[in-house]
Structure 1
Amino acid sequence: MVDRLTLVIVVQSLILLWIGPACEASSLGLTVHVVPLQSDGGQWVRAHFTVIASNPCPPLIGLCTEGVNCTLHKAYSPFSGMKPGSGWCVRQWEQVVPSNYNSAISLNSRTTFYVSMKAGPHVRASSGKLNYPAYVALPPPIRARKNCPHFIQLSVKDLDGDRVQCRFAMEEKGECLNCTQHSFIELDKDTCALTFTGNAPIGQYSIYLMAEDYIPTPKVSQASESQPLGSVPVHLSLTVEQSSSSCIDEPVATGKTPRKQATFNVLPFEEVKFEADFMSQKESVSEIAVVGLPGLNKYGFTSIGAMAQLSMSWVRGENTLAPVLPICFVANSVSLQSEPRCVWLYQREMRTLPEGTELFCNKTEMTLALPVVSLSNINLSELQLNSPACPVILNDTHITAHIALDGCGTKAVHAGTELVYTNTLKSVRLSSMISRQPSLILPLACRIPAVRARGPNFNIAVPPTAFDNADVKIEFHLPGEGPLALYTSRPQFSSLGLLPGRLRRDSASASHIRTSLEKLGTRIKALDLHLLSNTTLERAELSIERCVRSETDDFAERDTILENGCKASNTTLEIRATSHARIFRLDLSNLFTVNNTMYVECEVDLCITFLPSLKCTTQCNRGLVNRATVGMRSKHFTLRSGPVSLVVTNPAPSTSAVTDASGQTGAPTTAAVEVTSTSSAPEQVSFMAAGLIFNIICIFLQHTFSH
């Protein structure tokens, strides 16, 4: 008589034999992160699935009925990559399933894979709490070259501090199908490190692993250790490609890239930002591929010469995600790939606040009232907001504070579908001495509820007052001079497309113009056009609709400098600066004018999008269309300079000189500004705020997550 487990394995194997070819061709990676449910003693778990599938990207259809027990993470811009093959994308969802779970899961007829996990329940004797299985970060699809050994270090975490081991999945245990171990893949079980020996034909291979957690024991007793507390699947793909260069030419992480397995502790509605910088001497980086958590925002990818960079940010909103969240990234070129690098975000647990704590929000400030009785053993004189300039008021019963939304260190962030203003009340000790006295961290937030739009996308409600006090000004400075000399003295230039239909000029690039001026009357060869905004909103963008130049103040005859993100000729280059400034270097060496002055007029928009993944800035050649109010709130400005001298009028030009009201021009480095502005922001969105105080963190001995 065949036992039930054997029968189940046989049936599953027959099913997978039928779907096997599709599975092998389309599954490029999988992890499952498990959170046991306390309500039923861990018999059921919330499983967080991350799957990498080959293109065309499959839809999240038919996985489960979305609701309380299932959430489909429908990313506006899913994680994706161009290499290997025809490319890939990431699909993510979370579902409540039995703690011991075996299932064949299909995204569509082409994308089917098998999942087997054993997640308990197991109550830990040391704490009486349910055990959390190991968490493994999933890297983008791995590429290696024939005859080039390649090292792959998996990044693992365990919330209980257990020892994590990895082993190959075994078909006889029903953990996989056709998962023969490859002779060219070696596994160090104790460190979860894989080594590709290089001795494999060109092709794509699947690697099936199980990650298991064990109660820490001395090495001498590990040989006879008991069964693991939990086993979770890890599927990887390895694409072996033809070697065309040295085995040591891969891109390497540099600059501000976080160290391997770095952990960022994240408070509620706190924003985490970091950069991934790579250097590749052999081939330019074509992409920095990322596999991360739902809601991660990727932006600002640049690849110039040997250097490449990508910025990433995430805001912790209300979510049901796992306590620890991995982000893995690699740099890909045509034939090379960097070593995968993974970092972790740790959602810090918060303690319950006492009754009577209140936070009120209005259009300009949030008001906090916190009972003193709740803060026993806390030194109240050490409490401070993000900015110490804003006072915290103490009396016998309450701590109160009036916290300006545009001051006091308050930050505006976008959490999913909402705009949130955040601040923190915390203990700040003047002494650097270590103290055993408890400290306080109290996150505060006023959030604007989401505004649902028609269709699959959703909007962030941006208040109509976002740009009430915003202004933009136009200035001219000699290269290396002015308030942003840090950026213009050694400029880094951004790529600007050429306006369609325009002929390229043969003049020298403005980056090589000789800018030294020796005597009065010398013709200026280059000027930097600065467009500067005073807004403090982090996600606000300054977009250029049009800039024109004329010899007369009536602009009867004009030449286009910029239009809809395009330059009119090669005599204009953009210099990278801050998010609220745009700088353009103008080559004047071949500009022939009757007068020695010129005037410039620019039309610009200050803009913030309703969707965090969208950008306001117009990109050249993406269609010269009117973008006003489509998915964004913006304010329009028309800026006109005074007369800008094209010759040296002072022996030593001053960066502070401006054209006065009478039109008398001083040094040609700064032009007077005449500003007229009209707002194109829609007015139908009302400001509604909800005050949120997230549970206190009382840190007695400053325990930090470091496993």
Structure 2
Amino acid sequence: MVCRFKLSTLLQGLTLLSLVTSHEASSLGLTVHVTPLKSDGGNTVRAHFTAIAPDPCPDLSGLCSEGEDCEVYKTPLPFTGTKPNSGWCVRQWHKTVPSKYSATISLGSNTEFYVYLNAGPTVRANSGRLNQPAYVALPPPLRARVNCPHHFHLSVKDLDGDKVQCRFAREDEGECVSCPQHSFIELDKARCMLSFTGKAAAGQYFIYLVAEDFIPAPRINYITDGSALSSVPVHLSLTVEESSSSCIDEPMATGSTPEEDSVLFVLPFQEVKFTANFISQPESVAEVAVVGPPALYRTGFTSIGPLAKMDMAWVRSENNLSRLLPICFAANTQSLQSEPRCIWLYQREMRTLPAGTELKCENTEMSLVLPITSFKDIKLEELQLNSPTCPVIYNSTHLTARFSLDGCGTKAVHAGTELIFTNTLQSVRPYTMVSREPSLILPLACRIPETQVKGPQYKITLPTEKETFGEIRVWIEFHLPGEGPLSKYTRSPRFRSDFLPPVRSRRQAETESVTNSSAASNSTDGGLGSRISQLDLHLLTNCSVARAEMIVSSCIESETEDFEESTPILNQGCLASNSTLEVVTEETKSKVYRLDLSSVGTQGSTMYVQCTVNLCISTMPSQKCPDLCTRAISQRTLIGSVFTSSYTVRSGPVSLVVTTPAPTTASNTAITTTTKTSSTPAATTTTASATTTSHAPEQASSVATGVILTSISVFLQKVVLY
């Protein structure tokens, strides 16, 4: 697609570029939230831009010129994502522009897009106020799969209570440049619902919409003039991917995750926080992608087997943001995405306090003097602080209160580099009382600048992974049944029955009667060069913490060390096929799996194995860490446990045939190994002399010290917020 722009731009210093392809030129998402300025009757507006740009994340140094009302929002905690595979980041800024505005905006060298908005001005007949254009929440880059129909709900709000509709942008109206409509994208205008039919080839597509607000008409009035009060742009990207999984396998939001379109009301200097919980059976969640307001904290991302969660918090400090702030999030796995969900933060408007109001912040307490003559019909006896035990004193003219910074329900929160102590004076009525009388809500805050914030009492620091679990090393070993460091469990093994389907459970009784002698003899089909039929996969760690437990999320095997093609052994903590059994042991920090090599996919003489492992400590001694392969698993298991990072460990080459003859006399097992020392697996050479009563030909055992290849996500980290 070649486009040449001949449109005037109101952004100084930006060069209009010819777009070679939409993939190179378009943003991965854009919304503009518009606030009309009363100072000139709404002829100018403050436009709040949120754009998603592909990696590498662009610089915003040319967006604002000296002297204009323009601000690029700082990103101490940038919103980024890895899916789709190109990667992306969010850039946010506001700029005062005319109410009817069009421009071509460049973000760095790889992102350029055209923006058109029409915000009036319109004075509402029912209130005499300037009309407020609609708000549309921007989700993370959308993902779908070939031949899998999917619906994408756009979350919209309107401060005036107007009806919001969405439609495709029209090039002939100057709303977009080269914006063809895709036959596989349908739009329900009234519900702002996009439908992907599934009939599209794999690739990345761009969708250009316009959101409009209309004065809601009575239901009996079926005739409207159809004229919108305002229109704002919405740009979306949809990446269609090939996939072999079911069309209903997407991750799902669960637990205490806020409901779609829910609204959280926020007072000045108030902190709001919530947790997004997901469950994903086919694949583990790799990331929770988020697009939200500046300074939205995200912490505690945890992904263990099918469960994942992320905590989010936002503190309302002094800001120039719009009154409605959306937060949209979605869980991404390697090939799947959950339904994006959006919630809204509503910054309550506060009236000017009466003259004579005093709030003093001292070293250990704050005091309030409030004239009450202007508060008509407010019942003073109903007023109290966060804690009802702290007195509020009043007479005919003034109300006074004095309370400590560490009592009376006072809370400490961080907003940027400031420490803020907050309390609230508010009317409190019995829950059983329904009243139409006015009430008072007055936030109180003492702000302490960064230069005065001293001492560890202002920070809550969680212990690091090393402090909790010690210096951790995780590795893989392979042994014949009845051998190795856990031989006392593998000689006459018991196998975990709740991993098994009913047919395999009935067979287990026969398997458990196998003796060490028969187990060893059944592991080989003959002499030197014969194929091994059974091997025990050991996952071991050097962790010495008594209550630590090992959790294995996945294991795969491959004929090649690059794992370009692999077969699952365990998936989401559950055995992936009938060729694997878990051996029951009393060791909480290790796992043993018996592999039936006659059923594995590897046809050659060697294989490689890779596993993803976590260590866990339950927060209560009476509890256990989560069992990933059980129907009773829930989000509570994540809340009640502390986890290490996810360690991905690989074996060296594991021989599947007998490589050396059996010794003539019994001897103790002796293992010599060359271990891998880099992320690129090197060959592992292992020899072992096995002791068996039948003197069967020796079979190669492979021992490989695991190398941490990827630290998927860190769950223990320092938090300076709460």
Partner of 1:499: 471
The answer to whether 1:325 aligns with 2:325 is: yes
CA contact 2:30–2:234 (8 Å) conserved in 1? yes
Q: Deviations 1:95-137 (Å, cap 9, x if unpaired)?
A: 1011100000001221110000000111111111101110000
For 2:400 and 2:191, how far apart are their aligned partners in 1? 51
Match of 1:360 in 2: 360
Q: Is the 8 A contact 1:9 1:174 kept in 2?
A: no
SS at match of 1:27: coil
SS in 1 for 2:387: coil
The DSSP-based 3-state class of the residue aligned with 1:86 is coil
- What residue number does 1:466 align with? 457
User: In terms of Rg, which structure is larger?
Assistant: 2
Inter-partner Cα distance in structure 1 for 2:472 and 2:642: 22
For 2:454, give the aligned amino acid: P
Q: CA–CA distance in 2 between the matches of 1:446 and 1:573?
A: 40
- Alpha-carbon shift at residue 576 of structure 1 (Å): 4.5
Structure 2 gap ranges (5+): 10-14, 478-484, 488-543, 549-588, 590-612, 621-635, 645-707, 712-717
Contact kept, 8 Å, 2:614 with 2:643, in 1: the verdict is no
Decide whether the 8 Å contact of 2:295 with 2:314 is kept in 1: yes
In structure 2, do the counterparts of structure 1 residues 178 and 507 end up closer, same or farther at CA, with 3 Å as the change threshold?
same
Matches within 5 A, 1:301-380: 301-380=301-380
CA contact (8 A) 1:28 1:54 kept: yes
Percent identity between matched residues is 58
The worse-fitting range, judged by mean Cα deviation, of 37-46 and 375-384 is: 375-384
SS at structure 2 position matched to 1:381: helix
Which stretch of the first structure deviates more once superposed, 70-79 or 576-585? 576-585
Matches within 5 A, 1:391-406: 391-406=391-406
Give the distance between the partners of 1:580 and 1:397, measured in 2 at CA.
50
The verdict on how the C-alpha distance between 1:219 and 1:239 changes in structure 2, with shifts beyond 3 A counting, is: farther
CA contact (8 A) 1:494 1:575 kept: no
Q: Does 2:226 correspond to 1:183?
A: no
Task: State the 1:389 CA deviation.
Answer: 1.3
Matches within 5 A, 1:78-477: 78-218=78-218, 221=221, 224-430=224-430, 432-451=432-451, 461-464=452-455, 466=457
* Residue identity opposite 1:499 in structure 2: E
Match of 2:19, SS? helix
Give the letter aligned to residue 471 of structure 2.
Answer: L
How has the CA–CA distance of structure 1 residues 427 and 138 changed in structure 2, closer, same or farther, with 3 Å as cutoff?
same
Q: Secondary structure at the match of 2:21?
A: helix
Confirm or deny: 8 A CA contact 1:494 1:574 kept in the other structure.
no
Tell me, what secondary structure is at the counterpart of 1:374?
Answer: coil
Structure 1 counterpart SS, 2:113: strand
Give the SS at the match of 1:373.
coil
* Mean Cα deviation higher: 55-64 or 423-432: 423-432
Cα shift readout 1:429-455 (whole Å, capped 9, x = no counterpart): 13622112211111000001244xxxx
Q: Secondary structure at the match of 2:349?
A: coil
Residue type at the aligned position of 1:463: K
- Per the alignment, do residues 581 and 252 of structure 1 end up closer, same or farther by CA in structure 2, a change over 3 Å counting? closer
Distance 1:243 1:253, change over 3 A: same
- Among 605, 618, 628, the residue aligned to 1:575: 618
Instruction: Tell me if structure 2 keeps the 8 A contact 1:22–1:112.
Output: no
| C-alpha displacement of 1:93 | 0.3
Partner Cα separation in structure 2 for residue 318 and residue 417 of structure 1? 13
Give, in whole Å, the separation in 1 of the partners of 2:53 and 2:435: 51
| CA 175–576 in structure 1, closer or farther in 2 if over 3 Å, else same | farther
1:275-327: CA deviation from partner (whole Å, max 9, x where unpaired): 11011111111111001011100000001111110010000000110010000
The residue number in structure 2 matching 1:639 is: none
CA distance in 2 between counterparts of 1:11 and 1:526 reads 67
- Supply the AA of the counterpart residue of 1:353: L
Native 8 Å contact 1:16 1:177 kept in 2 = no
Residue type at the aligned position of 1:402: R
Is this contact kept in 1: 2:469–2:545, CA < 8 A?
no
SS in 2 for 1:172: helix
Structure 2 residue identity aligned to 1:267: L
- Cα distance in 2 for residues equivalent to 1:220 and 1:201: 45
Amino acid at match of 1:90: V
CA displacement, residues 388-418 of structure 1 (integer Å, 9 cap, x when unaligned): 1111112333211111101110000011221
**What root-mean-square deviation, in Å, do the aligned CA atoms of Structure 1 and Structure 2 show?**
3.6
Q: Alpha-carbon deviation of 1:232?
A: 0.4
SS of residue in 1 equivalent to 2:34: strand
TM-score, normalising length: structure 2: 0.64
* 8 Å contact from structure 1 (residues 253, 278) kept in 2: yes
**Is residue 121–residue 130 contact of structure 2 (8 Å, CA) maintained in 1?**
yes
8 Å Cα contact 1:155-1:342 kept in structure 2:
yes
Q: Offset at 1:352?
A: 1.5
C-alpha distance after superposition, 1:567-590 (max 9, x if no partner): xxx9985334799999899xxxxx
List gaps (5 residues or longer) in structure 1. 1-7, 452-460, 474-492, 509-524, 530-560, 562-569, 586-618, 623-629, 634-707
* Structure 2 match to 1:72: 72
Q: What CA distance in whole angstroms lies between the structure 2 residues aligned with 1:228 and 1:621?
A: 52
Aligned length: 501
Does the 8 A contact of 1:84 with 1:141 survive in 2? yes
- Measured in 1, the distance between the counterparts of 2:376 and 2:220 equals 46
Q: Contact between 2:210 and 2:232, CA under 8 Å: does it hold in 1?
A: yes
2:719 & 2:193 partners in 1: Cα distance? 45
Quote the residue 2:499 is aligned against: none
Question: Does the Cα contact within 8 Å between 1:137 and 1:326 map onto a contact in 2?
Answer: yes
Distance 2:89 2:82 in 1: 9
Inter-partner Cα distance in structure 2 for 1:164 and 1:465: 49
Question: How has the CA–CA distance of structure 1 residues 342 and 494 changed in structure 2, closer, same or farther, with 3 Å as cutoff?
Answer: farther
